[in-house]
Structure 1
Amino acid sequence: MNTIKHRAENLNNGGSVTVYYCGYEKCESGHSWGPAMRNQYLLHYVISGRGEYTVGGETYSLHPSECFLIRPGERTFYSADREDPWEYMWVAFDGFDVLEILRRTGLVSRYVASVENGGEFVRYLREMIDEFSQGGLFKVMSCFYGAMSVLEKSAHGGAYTREHEYVNKAIGYIKSNYGYPIQISDLARHIGIDRTYLYRIFTASENMSPKQYLMQVRINAAKKMLLAGTYSVGETALSCGFADSASFCGRFKRCTGMTPKEFIADSQKRRTEA
């Protein structure tokens, strides 16, 4: 057999993004997986060769310097070309901040993307695989975010526009101040631009308004606190920028479909069943 595999797994940091496993494979002719579903996001990068990826009734032909994304719960199938089977690297991940990562890398509504600086991308993935097998959590996450930064640059043509800088400043401000009763006017004033202009460029970049993004950050932060098991609902509400427990519980249910207590119970049940 000519198949070469390198796989590392079971390093879970429980943070806003968790890398579950990563690896490398030089596939044999016609090697395939599926149709089946994955439990996490799985990103493959094609180093050499060719293959096909099928999801949602669409089939994509993949070539070197391209990547394809598998989303959890979606039925997928992929196979190596019989004449020129692909060689690829992969990383499986999930977490509260994944949606933002997909937006920044251009994969929020796409399954396939080209990578402009493939050499740098591969270097990060190789380092991630090496560190993963040694249990180096911080280095693994550093390499993961490094690889995502390469995808982000590719999604923006390798350069950052002034509008992109404004959006990044807005996101940074929100993440640093979501626990305070900030207004979008505060955000625009901090960046030094008009509120209407901020709304337009932010919505175009993130597919949601600044206000919606702020609420998403608050709810995600609340989820982490609730799952920690050491904070009350009241403490969580005030820490995440809500005026009181009642307003927090109402907003949390509208966003998640569950009350905070139901969310905790559901999470505990899932861990027990896993």
Structure 2
Amino acid sequence: MEFIYTEPIGLTDLAVLEVGTENCLPDMSFGPSVRDMYILHYIHSGYGTYSTGGRTETLGPGELFLVMPDTVHSYRADPDEPWHYSWFGFVGTLAPRLVELAGFSVLSPVRTADSSLSVESLFDNLMSLRKEPAKELLLTALLYQIFGTLAIPDDAPPLRADVGHHIRNAVSFMNTRYADRISLNEIADYVGLDTKYLCRLFQQRLSMSPYRYLTDVRMRKACRLLRRQLLGIAEIAQSVGYQDPLMFSRMFKRTIGLSPTAYREKAKLESGTTSYETS
């Protein structure tokens, strides 16, 4: 194991406390335990399981998992193909928001890095900074870069080059705030436009309203959560911005053509999964 302890040097927005990388031995485990910081892991190779919130998930190369502060968790390397992972331990006043923008939450502490992004290469740079005199600042900058990369929507359709910066800003806002109860007024205020003009721009450039785009974002996220076979329907509803599971189910069926339960069963059959793990 290679490991670096750092000193926060007065940083309050985001401070890296430790980084490391490890080729784990078979069945090597950690926890159950509670930490007082966020710890973001990236899996370079191999497999293992991560348990938190009453659920256990098997993870492999290219996936990330986040340990939340003051949350009971444990993880274990696979007995046959143990994982090699790297990690950041961090705190800060901006940490909860950055975690949210990167797509993590208590209900969804795992995500897959898009293969077209540079997440692995960013984690590969960790240990090269150990002898730098300003390693605390450099590691914090690297963590910001990782969050910035992860905040790029991994399932959003590409926008045409001519859609304009107002629509791009609105789309970015919805792709990061989809789990909140955001209104058309909030979207318009964010991009600095009148609501009617914003709706007209969306209709002209994307052939849909901002509300329809937001609904599509939420349904794409819901599909991904349903395919993971880990959360209940009510939990998924809350994770994508619906407080009422029945309203979520109606919107999902109207948009996707199947109920959330039917979609989950279809995905389960297609993946050959007959059950999902629980701790």
| Residues 160 and 75 of structure 1: CA distance in aligned 2, closer, same or farther (over 3 Å) | farther
| Structure 2 Cα separation of the partners of residues 123 and 189 of structure 1 | 33
Partner of 2:113: 115
Q: Distance in 2 between matches of 1:92 and 1:27?
A: 18
Partner of 2:256: none
CA contact (8 A) 2:16 2:136 kept: no
Contact 1:44 1:89 (C-alpha < 8 Å) held by counterparts: yes
Residue identity in the other structure for 1:141: T
Q: Deviations over 1:33-85 (max 9, x none)?
A: 01111110011111100000110110010010001110011111100000000
State which drifts further: 102-111 or 21-30: 102-111
- Look up the equivalent residue of 2:149 and give its one-letter code: V
**Whole-Å separation in 1 of the counterparts to 2:22 and 2:45:** 11
1:73 to 2:70 alignment: yes
Task: Indicate the residue corresponding to 2:27 in structure 1.
Answer: 30
Post-superposition CA distance 1:126-164 (Å, at most 9, x none): 323322553323322221111112212254548579756
Counterpart code for 1:136? K
> What is the correspondence of 1:74-89 to structure 2 with a 5 Å cutoff?
74-89=71-86
| Secondary structure of 2:152's aligned partner | helix
Q: Does 1:146 align with 2:145?
A: yes
Q: Where in structure 2 are the equivalents of 1:1-274 lying within 5 Å?
A: 5-12=1-8, 13-108=10-105, 109-117=107-115, 120-134=118-132, 135-157=134-156, 159=158, 165-166=169-170, 188=189, 191-194=192-195
Q: Distance in 1 between matches of 2:117 and 2:240?
A: 30
Query: In 2, Cα distance between the equivalents of 1:189 and 1:83?
Result: 50
Between the aligned residues of both structures, percent identity stands at 21
Residue 118 of structure 1, CA deviation: 7.2
Kindly tell me the number of residue pairs found equivalent between the two proteins: 191
Change (3 A) 1:190 1:84: closer
Q: Which of 58-67 and 102-111 deviates more?
A: 102-111
Runs of 4+ with deviation above 6 angstroms: 199-208
Indicate if the aligned counterparts of 2:47 and 2:60 stay in contact, CA closer than 8 A. Answer: yes
The 2-side partners of 1:87 and 1:191 are apart by: 46
User: Quick check: 2:62–2:120 contact (8 Å CA) kept in 1?
Assistant: no
Q: Structure 1-normalised TM-score?
A: 0.59
Gaps of 5+ in 1: 171-183, 209-274
One-letter code of the match for 1:111? P
Residues 1:52 and 1:169: Cα distance change in structure 2 (over 3 Å): closer
